[in-house]
Structure 1
Amino acid sequence: MAGYVRFVFAIMLCIANMIIYGLKVNISTTIIGMVKTKIVNNNDSSSHECPAFDNITSTSGGGGLEGTYEWSTTEQGLVVSLYFAGYMLGMFPAGYFADRFNTKWVLLISVFCNAIFTLMVPWAADAIGVLLFLRFMTGLVSAVNLPVVNVLVGKWVVYEEKSTWVGIIYAGTSIGTVLSILSSGFIMNGFGWRTVFYVHGIIPLIWCICFALFFADCPEQQKLISENERQLIVKSFGHRQPNSSKRKIPWKHIFTSKPMWALIATNTFGNFCWYFMLTQLPLYMNKMLRFNIKSNAVISCSPYLINAVTNPLLGKLLDWGRNQGFWTQTSGRKIAVGVSCIPPSILMIAIAYMGCERLWTTIMLVCSIVLGGAIFVGHLINQNDLAPNYAGILMGLTNFPGTISAFVLPALVGALTENGHTFHNWRYIFWICVIAQMTAFAIFTIWGTAKIQKWNYPEGSPEREQADAVDETETRMI
C-alpha cells in the first residue's frame, strides 16, 4: 500500500457531501417549529380511504411545537423549493468554475457560504422575502457540490478504486440527510428552532479550517503525502492533470458525442425516483399511510442510513468484478443504472396498487430508496468516466436537466391531489416515475458507456493513444 492520504481526502469529500446535503434538508424539518400550528394544519386534505387508520394519530402539526410565523402554505413551499431553483440555475456555471479554477477553493467557498447562510436563517426568517432570497442563494452556492466532487475524483481517486471510493464519497449525501433530520428534531425540541441553524452553521466551519490547512487541490501539490502514493495516483489511468483546466474546452465534440447525449437523457429521467422519494415520501407517509411526524421522520431517514452502507458495498462489488475480468467499467455502470431503475420501478408499481397495506407499503418504499440510491455509482459518476479533464463541465450540463424532476414532481403531486389525496390520484405519479426510470435504463443500456472519450485529451497526446488502446480492449470484452 503506497499510503492513505487519498483515502483521507475522499473522507473529507464525504463529509463535504454530508454538510451540503444536511443543510439542504434541515429547514424541511425545522419549518414545523417555525410556523404556527394552526397555519400548518390549514387546508388539510388527508386521505380517508383507509378507515382503519382513523384511530392512528396522523397529525401534520409539530407535536406541541408552536411557531412564530404565519406563513401560508404557498410561502412554506417556496421556502423549500427556492433552494432547488438556485441549485438548478447554478449547475452549469458551477461546473465551469469547478473545471477552470482551483477546485479545492471552489468547494471550500461553497461549504463556507452554506455555513454562513445557515447562520443567517434565524435573522432572515423575520422577513419572508429575505428568507426566500437566502434560500435561493444557498441553492446557488450548493450547485458546485457534484461538479467539484467529480473533478476531485478525477484528481485523487485511482482508476482501479473508483467505484468503491465514489460509493463512500456519495454515502455522505445519505448520512448528511439522516443526521440533519434527526438532529434538527432533537435540537428543536430541546432548545428551539433557531438553535438548529446555529449548530448546523458552526460545525461546517471546522471542516473548512481543516480542509484549507491540510489538503491541496491535487496530489501533485499535496505536501503531506509520500512520494510512492503521489506517483501511484499521478500514474493511474485517467488521472486528471493540473494543467487540464487551461486546455481549450472541446465544445463541438462534447455536444456531438452520442455517449454525452445518452448521459444527459439518463440524468434527466433517471433521477425521477430519487427526487420523488426525497421530496414527496414524507407527504405520502403522512397523507396516505397516516404516520405521525415522529414515526414519519424515523421511517423517512432509515433508507438513507442503509444507503450509506449499500452504496460503498455496491461500488466495491463493481470494482471487484471489473478487476476480476467479469465485466468492464461500462458494464459495471450499466449494472448500477439497472439497479437504480428496474427494482424501484417494480416496487413502485406494486405500491401504487397496494392500497391500505401499511406495513408492506412502508417496506417497499424503503427498499425503493435504497435501490434507487445506486444512481451515485451509476450515471452520477459517468461524467468522470467519459472525460475526467472536463468532469465538472459535464456534470453541470447533465445535472441541469437532471434537477428538473425536483420541480416537476411536487407541482404534479399538488395538482393531482388538489381535491384530496386518493390512491387513484397518486397512481399517476407512480407511473410517471416508472416510465421515466425505465426510459433512462433503456437509453443508457443502448448508448451509455464508461470509456474515456478521445476528446478528453489533446490531439496527438500519449494519453489519447492510451485511451484508444483501452477503447479497443473494452470493445473486445463487451
Structure 2
Amino acid sequence: MSTVIKEMSQQPAPVIPPGGRFGTRHGQALLTFFSVVSAYAMRVNLSVGIVAMTDKSSNPDFPELNWDSSTKGIILGSFFWGYLVTQIPAGQFAGRFGPKYLLGGAVLYCGLLTLLTPLAALKGDWLAVFVLRVLQGLGQGCIYPCVNTHLSKWAPPPERSRLFAFVFSGTQLGTVITLYVAGQLAGGPGGWPSIFYVTGIFSVIWALLWLYVGADSPSEHKSISEEEKNYIQTSLIHSSANSKSMKVPWKKIVTSVPMWALLLTHLAQNWGFWTLLTLMPSYINAVLGFDIKSNGTLSALPYLGNFILTLCFSWVADKINQKEILMLSTARKMWNSIGLWGGAAALVLLATVARSVESAVTLLTLAVALNSGTFMGYLTNHLDLAPNFAGVLMGITNGISNITSILGPMVAGFIVTNEKDESEWRIVFLISATVFFLGNSIFVLFGSTDVQTWNNPESKEQKREGATA
C-alpha cells in the first residue's frame, strides 16, 4: 500500500492544456520526429543497399562489389563502433549546453558522410565504407541523447507517452520509407548509389531547417504563447529550470537498481531489433526468394506495422495514465512485455512452426510490430527516473546497449554461413527470442517508475548550509 501511495503522490498535479490546437510543443515534436526519421534512413540504407551492391542481377548497369557474407556482416555492424563512443558525452553536452546545435550539427555531418558512401565503396572498397560508417556512428551517437534532453523540456507528463512515442516512432517510419524506397531506387536508373544520395540530401535539408527553427526549451522559443509556456513548465514538476548547472550524480546512477534494469532491457532490445533490421533483407532474398524491389517492400512491412501500433499504443497509454487505470509502473511493464515477450513468442513460432512464405512474413511482421510496446515501456523510463538527466541516462543505456547492436548481427553472421540454409536462420531467431525474454524479465522484476532521489542533487551551497546548520 505504501508503494501505491508513494507512486500516486509523485503523479503531477492536473494541469489544463491550452485548447486543442496544434501548439508550439507539437511543432517541436514534429521537427525532432523528422530528425529520428533522418537518422534511421541513414542507418538502414545500407541494409538494402548492400544486397544490390553485391548482386548485379538487381541492376546490371551498376558495379557489383565482391563482398562475402562475413565482410557484409562486418560492414553492417561497423556503424555501432562509432555509435557506442559518443552517447554519454553527447548526453552531458546536451544537458549542459542544450541539444539544438549538437543535434543539428550531428545530422548535417552524417548527411554529408552519407553522400560520400558510393565514392568510398567504388574507390576504396569495403574498408573505406567500414571507416565511413564508423564516422557516421560517431555523429549519430549524439542524436538520441539530444532528442531525449529536448523532450524532457517540451513533453508535459499528461502528453508524454504520445509525444515521446510519436517522436521515436520516427525510427519505424524512417525504416519503412528507406527499406521500400531503397529497393525501388536500387532497381531504377540511379542504381544503388542513389539510395545514399537521396537519404543524404534529406538529412542535410532537415539539419538546416532545424538550426533555424529549433529551440532547446519553451523559455528559449521566440514565438511560443505565454499560456502554452506556462502549461508546459507547470506540468514538468520534476524537471528543474536549473538542470543545465546540475552536477551529474554518477555514483548514484551507477548503483541504482532501476537504472541497471533499464540498461539490461535496452541491451536485450538492441540485440533482437538490430539483428532483424540488418539481416532481414538478406533472409527475404536468400530464403524467401524475393527480388530487390519486392525485398524492400517486404522488409518495410514489419516496420510499418510497428509505426501504426506505436501511434495506437501511445494514445491508449496516455489514457490509461490520465484515468489512473493502472499504476504507472504496472503500465510501463505491461507495454514492455507486449514488446519483448510478444516479439519473443513470434520469433519462436517463426523458428519452429512457420513452413511457408506467408507464415514467415506474417510472423516477422508480428515480431517487429509488437516491439512497438517498448516505446511506452523502457524507452520512456529514462524520463520517469530522472527528468533532469534524461539525456545522460539515454546516453548511458543507448551507448552501452550498442554492444549488443554489434554482437547480435555479428553472431548471426557467424551462424549463417549459408544464407539459404533455413536451419541456420532458425538458430538466429531462437537466440533473439531468448534475449528478448530475459531482458524483459529483468525489467518486470527490478524496473521502477519512481523519480529517483538523485534527480535533484544538492548544490554546493545547499551542502555548505547543511554542514553549518
1:300 matched to 2:320: no
Is the 2:176–2:300 contact (alpha carbons within 8 Å) kept by the matching residues of 1? yes
Instruction: Provide closer, same or farther for how the CA distance between residues 343 and 71 of structure 1 changes in structure 2, counting only shifts above 3 A.
Output: closer
Alignment correspondent of 1:376: 375
Alignment correspondent of 1:182: 180
- Greater alpha carbon shift after TM alignment, 312-321 vs 419-428: 419-428
Q: What is the distance in 1 between the residues matched to 2:290 and 2:52?
A: 18
Q: What is the distance in 1 between the residues matched to 2:63 and 2:88?
A: 37
Given the alignment, which residue of 43, 46, 50 partners 1:27? 46
Helix, strand or coil: the match of 1:224? coil
- Greater alpha carbon shift after TM alignment, 227-236 vs 408-417: 408-417
Instruction: Provide closer, same or farther for how the CA distance between residues 306 and 238 of structure 1 changes in structure 2, counting only shifts above 3 A.
Output: farther
Alignment correspondent of 1:170: 168
Instruction: Provide closer, same or farther for how the CA distance between residues 292 and 24 of structure 1 changes in structure 2, counting only shifts above 3 A.
Output: same
* Letter paired with 2:27: V
Following superposition, the deviation at residue 70 of structure 1 comes to 4.0
Q: What is the distance in 1 between the residues matched to 2:164 and 2:76?
A: 28
Structure 1 length as normaliser, TM-score? 0.86
1:122 matched to 2:98: no
Alignment correspondent of 1:429: 428
Alignment correspondent of 2:318: 319
Q: What is the distance in 1 between the residues matched to 2:115 and 2:290?
A: 31
Instruction: Provide closer, same or farther for how the CA distance between residues 305 and 419 of structure 1 changes in structure 2, counting only shifts above 3 A.
Output: closer
Instruction: Provide closer, same or farther for how the CA distance between residues 36 and 260 of structure 1 changes in structure 2, counting only shifts above 3 A.
Output: closer
Helix, strand or coil: the match of 1:408? helix
1:17 matched to 2:15: no
Instruction: Provide closer, same or farther for how the CA distance between residues 25 and 347 of structure 1 changes in structure 2, counting only shifts above 3 A.
Output: same
Instruction: After superposition, give the CA deviation of every residue in 1:393-417 in whole Å (9 maximum; x if it has no partner).
Output: 1112212332223222222223223
Alignment correspondent of 2:339: 340
Given the alignment, which residue of 62, 79, 84 partners 1:83? 79
- The within-5 A match list for 1:274-289 is 274-289=273-288
1:240 matched to 2:236: no
Following superposition, the deviation at residue 344 of structure 1 comes to 1.6
| Structure 2: tracts of 5 or more residues without a match | 1-16, 461-469
Helix, strand or coil: the match of 1:67? coil
Q: What is the distance in 2 between the residues matched to 1:198 and 1:286?
A: 24
Given the alignment, which residue of 6, 23, 26 partners 1:7? 26
Instruction: After superposition, give the CA deviation of every residue in 1:206-247 in whole Å (9 maximum; x if it has no partner).
Output: 322322222321111111100000011111134534431211
- Greater alpha carbon shift after TM alignment, 406-415 vs 16-25: 406-415
* Letter paired with 1:432: I
Alignment correspondent of 2:109: 113
Is the 1:33–1:66 contact (alpha carbons within 8 Å) kept by the matching residues of 2? no
Alignment correspondent of 1:156: 154
* Letter paired with 1:312: L
Q: What is the distance in 1 between the residues matched to 2:174 and 2:61?
A: 24
Following superposition, the deviation at residue 445 of structure 1 comes to 1.1
Following superposition, the deviation at residue 430 of structure 1 comes to 2.4
Q: What is the distance in 2 between the residues matched to 1:355 and 1:16?
A: 37
Is the 1:33–1:67 contact (alpha carbons within 8 Å) kept by the matching residues of 2? no
Following superposition, the deviation at residue 267 of structure 1 comes to 1.2
Is the 1:100–1:246 contact (alpha carbons within 8 Å) kept by the matching residues of 2? yes
Q: What is the distance in 2 between the residues matched to 1:301 and 1:372?
A: 15
* Letter paired with 2:124: A
Following superposition, the deviation at residue 167 of structure 1 comes to 1.4
Following superposition, the deviation at residue 172 of structure 1 comes to 0.9
- The within-5 A match list for 1:251-270 is 251-270=250-269
Is the 2:107–2:207 contact (alpha carbons within 8 Å) kept by the matching residues of 1? yes
Is the 2:52–2:58 contact (alpha carbons within 8 Å) kept by the matching residues of 1? yes
Is the 1:155–1:239 contact (alpha carbons within 8 Å) kept by the matching residues of 2? no
Is the 1:288–1:422 contact (alpha carbons within 8 Å) kept by the matching residues of 2? yes
Is the 1:151–1:384 contact (alpha carbons within 8 Å) kept by the matching residues of 2? no
Is the 2:183–2:295 contact (alpha carbons within 8 Å) kept by the matching residues of 1? no
Q: What is the distance in 1 between the residues matched to 2:205 and 2:347?
A: 41
Q: What is the distance in 1 between the residues matched to 2:24 and 2:238?
A: 16
Q: What is the distance in 1 between the residues matched to 2:459 and 2:130?
A: 51
Q: What is the distance in 1 between the residues matched to 2:283 and 2:419?
A: 12
Following superposition, the deviation at residue 332 of structure 1 comes to 1.7
Instruction: After superposition, give the CA deviation of every residue in 1:130-183 in whole Å (9 maximum; x if it has no partner).
Output: 332221110110011211111111110011100011111111111111222222
Q: What is the distance in 2 between the residues matched to 1:407 and 1:440?
A: 17
Alignment correspondent of 1:62: 58
Is the 1:271–1:437 contact (alpha carbons within 8 Å) kept by the matching residues of 2? no
Helix, strand or coil: the match of 2:378? coil
Instruction: After superposition, give the CA deviation of every residue in 1:409-450 in whole Å (9 maximum; x if it has no partner).
Output: 222223223267544433332222222112122211111112
Q: What is the distance in 1 between the residues matched to 2:345 and 2:303?
A: 20
Is the 2:69–2:417 contact (alpha carbons within 8 Å) kept by the matching residues of 1? no
1:104 matched to 2:103: no
Q: What is the distance in 2 between the residues matched to 1:225 and 1:352?
A: 52
Is the 1:344–1:372 contact (alpha carbons within 8 Å) kept by the matching residues of 2? yes
- Greater alpha carbon shift after TM alignment, 165-174 vs 15-24: 165-174
Instruction: Provide closer, same or farther for how the CA distance between residues 170 and 353 of structure 1 changes in structure 2, counting only shifts above 3 A.
Output: same
Equivalenced residues, count: 438
